[in-house]
Amino acid sequence: MKFKALLIITIIFFTSCEDKNPLEREALDKVNTLESLMEDAKNKSIDVTREETILWFSKEFLKFANWDESNKEATEKLFGYERYYADNKKQMAEELPDFERKKVIQILNKGIDDLKKELQGEIKRRPVNKVDWQNTKAANNMFVSNGKPSFPYDYFSKTVGQPLTNTDVYNDHLGAIFHGGENLYPVDHDRAINSFLLNEDGSFDEELMKELTSIPDTNIGFLIYWSMGGIPEWVEEKEPEIRKGRSLFTGFDIDNPVARGLWLKLYAEQVSLLKVKRLRS
């Protein structure tokens, strides 16, 4: 009975391996190789921060490749939105999964090669000085982390509607700067700081302001002055021409006196809020 169970498990394992794309199998083999080299490096007190990021991106993009493989119609539709790819959208959607897998193999090869060289004494790399996201401070026109000037990298347009505690989005690999996009908001508001924060009487919408005031002080963060979204109805009623002369980016005329007055009030309030937050932290 035990033999039969073992045989079934073995058959399932090999069937599962056979089901995988050849490029994915190659990439996973290289993942195992890199992980093994990393263990050797750790035993020799060699920093493997770079390799940890290579592994993270490799595993993520193998997942993305499988999704793209199973959702070619959706991917084709997305390519169709971009004028440079629209004419070849079907071909692009067809080629994307293996393109991603090949790129994963490429970065794994580079990681394996570099770590082998360090293990063999051919090169010597400095340990990575990781950003301390919780304790980085602004001082003397720079960000200071672990007592040294730091560049706190991140994507300014990170996924909206994801908790700031989601480590798939906020981590050492993608960056972990908090921003005002944890909660979903109406599409014409576009980010936490927008024209809708200000009421017609000059007061601020307390509910919308929570998108700013609720961002915790426990982590380095940023706010985007995003004037790309809409404009409140009361502003358009007051100034019907506010959208005339608009740029392709902002959605309204930033030189219009009403728009300038609105955003000056918003800037002043945000600076005041951020100053208080920094003093508290």
String of b and e for 79-116 (b: at least 16 CB within 10 Å)? bbeeeeeeeebeebbbebbbebbeebbebbeebbebbb
CA-based max dimension of the chain: 84
- Cβ 75 vs Cβ 100: under 8 Å: no
C-beta contacts of 157-162 below 8 A and 24+ residues apart: 160/184, 160/185
pLDDT in tens, 80-106: 999 999 999 999 999 999 999 999 999
The H-assigned helical ranges of the chain are: 2-19, 22-43, 49-70, 72-80, 89-119, 206-213, 233-238, 257-280
Cα dihedral 100, 104, 110, 111 sign: positive
Torsion (CA) 80, 84, 90, 95 in degrees, nearest 10:
-130
- Cβ 178 vs Cβ 170: under 8 Å: yes
Mean pLDDT of the chain: 87
Q: What is the mean pLDDT of each run of 10 residues along the chain (281 residues)?
A: 51 56 98 99 98 98 98 98 97 98 99 99 95 89 90 80 90 90 77 85 90 84 71 89 74 83 87 64 42
| Whole-prediction pTM | 0.80
- Cβ 62 vs Cβ 95: under 8 Å: no
Angle at 18 between CA 15 and CA 19, to 5 degrees: 90
